Amino acid sequence: MNTTTTAADPSTLQPGAPAAGAASGKTLVVGKRGYFQGRDAVDWLFAALVLVGAGFAFSRYHASMDVYEKGILACAAPALIALGWFWRPLRLLCVVVGAASLLAIQLYLRQTDNFGADLAAADKVFFLKYLLSSQSAILWMSVLVWMSTLFYGLGFLKRDGGHSAAEAIGSRLAWASVGMALIGTMVRWFESHQIAPDIGHIPVSNLYEVFVLFTWLTTLMYLYYEERFKTRALGAYVMLVVSAAVGFLLWYTVARDAHEIQPLVPALQSWWMKIHVPANFIGYGSFAMAAMVALATLLKTATPRALVIGLIGVPVGLVALLLAFRVGANLPPETVAGLDGWAGKMAGLAVFLAASVALRKPLTARLPALTALDDLMYKAIALGFAFFTIATILGAFWAAEAWGGYWSWDPKETWALIVWLNYAAWLHMRLMKGLRGVVSAWWALIGLLVTTFAFLGVNMFLSGLHSYGTL
Residue 324 or residue 11, greater confidence: 324
When pLDDT is averaged across residues 69-84 and rounded to a whole number, the result is: 91
Whether residue 296 is predicted with pLDDT greater than 70 in this model: the reply is yes
Q: Could you tell me which of 381, 391, 371 has the C-alpha nearest to residue 424? A: 381
Residue 27 lies in a domain: yes
CA 361 → CA 167, 241, 367, distances in Å? 18, 21, 10
Residue 102 falls inside a structural domain = no
- Count: domains in the chain: 1
* Model confidence at 95: pLDDT above 90: yes
- Please indicate, yes or no, if residue 397 is contained in any of the structural domains: no
Please report whether residue 2 resides in a domain: yes
Instruction: Answer yes or no: is 8 within a domain.
Output: yes
**How far does the chain reach from its first CA to its final CA, in angstroms?**
58
Residue 63 lies in a domain: no
* Residue range 401-415: mean pLDDT, rounded: 84
Distance of CA 279 to the CA centre of its chain: 10
| 15 has a pLDDT exceeding 70 | no
What is the domain range of residue 25? Answer: 1-12+19-38
CA distance 282 to 144: 21
pLDDT at 354 over 80: yes
Averaged pLDDT, 14-25: 46
Check: CB of residue 433 under 8 Å from CB of residue 298.
no
For the cut 70, the answer to whether the pLDDT of residue 113 exceeds it is no
Spatial CA neighbour of 218 closest among 289, 276, 275 = 289
Assigned domain for 29 exists: yes
CA dihedral 319, 325, 327, 330 (to 10 degrees): -150
Query: Is 334 domain-assigned?
Result: no
